[in-house]
Structure 1
């Protein structure tokens, strides 16, 4: 990777971590006025508005046979987990949600052991132990500040389990499909899944967008975090490879905690510090063999 390309990649990585890390903040703000289901409907709709022109100008065909595996897997990529995240943020702090989101990598590893029969490495087992200890610490923390700690944490972990399941299925069956096409259908299915109940739950949702206090965070979530976020992520994969792109997973929790504490005045306690640091090292341990492999190739 050239020097200019490296600078661009680092800038994109930081931008993506800010976009995805801030999604917990804006979701937390918006669930005060929007129902979680209607919020995700609008988020996916705005994301499609952003992604659509990119597909058109890049002349990428979206024609695809909609099999059960394809629809169900991509529904687990956004439509269902984003809805669960929105429900969890009704009572869970955005900072804690951002940290719990990091369990996606650990759950993906566990599912690969179960369904793909992958032989675990020593560093991955260490990561699993650190992750479970961090989960216990964070759960004890939420119980102190949230009467619905168990339920909210459970929803957020189910959200990450959806991400992990989608990763396993997509990695096995969707090789060779343009990531932009996968992104398009991910947002489309999310819009449909949440759009149908929105008609009955909050039919006036578009009228609520007349308020700038609602429209601006929704636009950031939809246009930037969802639509532009996909483009940046896949560009990172193209520039530096999938291992480099996974660095965003390390940065998201720190962004979500910082924004939650500074913007929403959420508490910042020792439990969060310990749990966040343990998850960070768990993610490092999980991907240590990949980092070493990449370093060897570079040198």
Structure 2
């Protein structure tokens, strides 16, 4: 069962980036990011309402940060980055998440970080720069700086994981997930319908249903259901085993990108190997 769940979570999360790309055909980056979180929040709303009575009030600010900084802002950054960055490359840079978890844990949350982990962080960052430079054939003027938006999103994931570990250890994972999305539901709902052009596209654009389907799938499966699967995977196996999806997700993302006509040069493939080597060293026990 653990292997089945690992394969499923890797397929779901590895497919997220191609779904974002398809949604961007019609929607703007902020519409994609907000709609994704809105749909996830809608699905998790009943669980979030029930969780309100179980979570101490003093923990609510931390849970709000988990939802807003750990989910909403990264979803916007990923969508904005993918207006200029291929989905395959996005999937690779996303693997920096565990690196930033370790780095922020060591810098701000008194967690230990070995010399091997530090080396992994450095190697991973060099690999990311190599990917971005390789895509520009090592011309500084041609480097795609939108790739750093993906790094910023994974940095927020790193902060988010440490907040959960340090300030919410006694709160159930499902309650954290559901309540964090419930707390930001009014914000993303208000912005989606009154702060973007989403409402105008509902009845006027013939591509609406297709694009909406991509992002709704991303929100419901790639966010709400995926978190439920991941939490269960941690319980029946281990956090280390669950985190191994980090190495499978880029492969899935690259596969979808190639199927969709994206291309990578030899320098980018080499950068991918460097990044995954850094991730492995940073998280190796």
TM exceeding 0.5: yes
Distance 1:163 1:192, change over 3 A: farther
Alignment of 1:200-215 (within 5 A): 200-202=195-197, 203-207=199-203, 211-215=208-212
Equivalent position SS for 2:112: coil
Equivalent position SS for 2:85: coil
Unmatched 5+ stretches in structure 1: 1-7, 290-299
Tell me how far 1:282 sits from its aligned partner: 1.7
1:110 corresponds to which residue?
A: 103
- Choose which of 278, 282, 286 in structure 1 pairs with 2:282: 286
- Choose which of 110, 113, 120 in structure 2 pairs with 1:120: 113
Residue deviations 1:134-176, cap 9 Å, x none?
Answer: 0221120343599884431121111111111111111100112
Between the aligned partners of 2:244 and 2:108, the Cα distance in structure 1 is: 25
1:266 corresponds to which residue?
A: 262
1:12 corresponds to which residue?
A: 5
TM-score using structure 1 length? 0.84
Alignment of 1:129-208 (within 5 A): 129-144=122-137, 149-198=143-192, 199-202=194-197, 203-207=199-203
Tell me how large the CA RMSD over aligned residues is: 2.5
Between the aligned partners of 1:108 and 1:217, the Cα distance in structure 2 is: 29
1:277 corresponds to which residue?
A: 273
Tell me how far 1:48 sits from its aligned partner: 3.1
- Choose which of 52, 72, 92 in structure 2 pairs with 1:99: 92
2:21 corresponds to which residue?
A: 28
Deviates more, 1:92-101 or 1:64-73: 64-73
Distance 1:190 1:248, change over 3 A: farther
Distance 1:177 1:242, change over 3 A: same
Contact 1:42 1:222 in 2 (8 A): yes
Distance 1:61 1:43, change over 3 A: same
Residue deviations 1:220-275, cap 9 Å, x none?
Answer: 20221112101110110111021111011111111111101112x11122122112
Whether 2:27 is the aligned partner of 1:37: answer no
Distance 1:111 1:267, change over 3 A: same
Deviates more, 1:188-197 or 1:171-180: 188-197
Whether 2:223 is the aligned partner of 1:229: answer no
1:293 corresponds to which residue?
A: none
- Choose which of 52, 63, 86 in structure 2 pairs with 1:62: 52
2:245 corresponds to which residue?
A: 248
Distance 1:194 1:144, change over 3 A: farther
Matched residue pairs, number? 278
Equivalent position SS for 1:176: coil
Deviates more, 1:137-146 or 1:171-180: 137-146
Deviates more, 1:74-83 or 1:199-208: 199-208
Contact 2:14 2:91 in 1 (8 A): yes
Tell me how far 1:113 sits from its aligned partner: 2.0
Between the aligned partners of 1:113 and 1:90, the Cα distance in structure 2 is: 33
Tell me how far 1:210 sits from its aligned partner: 7.6
Equivalent position SS for 1:165: helix
